[in-house]
Structure 1
């Protein structure tokens, strides 16, 4: 059966217009991006097969060009289109954070960070540099790989913060496992960085850990930041 034969409330485009994008499943959202299916498969069926192939939507979004283009129903044109969509999303959230508003809402910061590190299959550690009014100067990804005090060097964070004349910072990293709960190593690392920054009167406001499916953890909200 063609998608055109479905009830209008079940068609992805009509469903989005009537109920909003949040009402759509991963497969339905991907089907709208794909626009058309392939011989013998509707766009939704193709999307479901692609999600099975890549296992998760974030894995598909973060796939390399080679991995993406080799999947049935995709190709370089779709890869380019996807990269443009992702970059527009990043710039949208970045413009909001750089509009001069004080960064006091962990939810907005977490959504922004999802586009930078949330889809990575490897751990990435970054830092939001803030001025005296806690407005964003810029975001920098500093380290990648298995993160601990041996690989994330507080002195490099300190140097960057001083070079940018930052008055405060927000630390961030992702958990590719999807569970944003901080480990003891995360807590110890936060303490070491916070201690180094305090020596030069730079505040460490929060450490956000980004998981999957919109999950994130604010150590400040959970009162886990070192005093």
Structure 2
């Protein structure tokens, strides 16, 4: 007995690949785009329906879906029909889209802590673990690159000045902004955050690379903590 309904078995009007050919990809729903990527569904479920089930599980949040691993997709009992091959295709497509988005970005000028928070909350949206990054800035305070330093609990033992300032020295940044996210949504800095900030500010002075701020962000741009605004510098 046949276990999969393929896109070929759908009516002509319902075939996502034919829709792309006739009308372009922009007119397809997210579920239809996923169907094109995975190619087939499972017993009693078309590829489009399987794509919609996947979206429903993640509340149609593509940013959230982009953060999941292959194992998470494959091992999810509610997403039967998505094996390793399909999971890899989905994650690869989302990553490619993310890279296109970042490639199109123009450099952002940081004039105040709120500018940094708005930029960072978008960059780090949906992360379920703490990520420590630095923004590399030129002489006009334009961000020309975001460097990931570590993933996990932020403390002085895990984030070493060498790892923080190597990218800045190598890429000739005039100054940097330290940043990390609090997945809980509470951006109040911990004692580790404060200790680490003091250590990195001093290291920056020795190297001649100014640390302009350390910003703690959440998914909401308005909820942030700036060490500069609170006179820690």
Give the TM-score, by structure 1 length.
0.64
Q: Give runs of aligned pairs for residues 1-227 of structure 1, distance below 5 A.
A: 32-35=29-32, 39=45, 46=53, 49-51=56-58, 59-69=64-74, 71-72=79-80, 75-76=86-87, 77-92=89-104, 95-97=105-107, 102-104=109-111, 106=113, 109-114=116-121, 116-214=123-221, 216-220=223-227, 223-227=229-233
- The answer as to whether partners of 2:110 and 2:141 remain within 8 angstroms in 1 is yes
Cα distance in structure 2, aligned partners of 1:73 and 1:110: 40
Over aligned residues, Cα RMSD in angstroms?
A: 3.6
Gaps of 5+ in 1: 1-30
Partner SS for 1:81: helix
Partner SS for 2:188: coil
Cα distance in structure 1, aligned partners of 2:118 and 2:101: 10
Cα distance in structure 1, aligned partners of 2:69 and 2:51: 23
Q: How many residues align?
A: 189
Shift of residue 213, structure 1, vs aligned partner: 4.9
- The answer as to whether partners of 2:187 and 2:225 remain within 8 angstroms in 1 is no
- The answer as to whether partners of 2:201 and 2:211 remain within 8 angstroms in 1 is yes
Shift of residue 225, structure 1, vs aligned partner: 4.9
1:89-130 CA distances to partner (integer Å, 9 max, x unpaired)? 3333xx222xxx532255554454345543333222111111
In our comparison, the structure showing a higher alpha carbon Rg is 2
Gaps of 5+ in 2: 1-27, 36-40
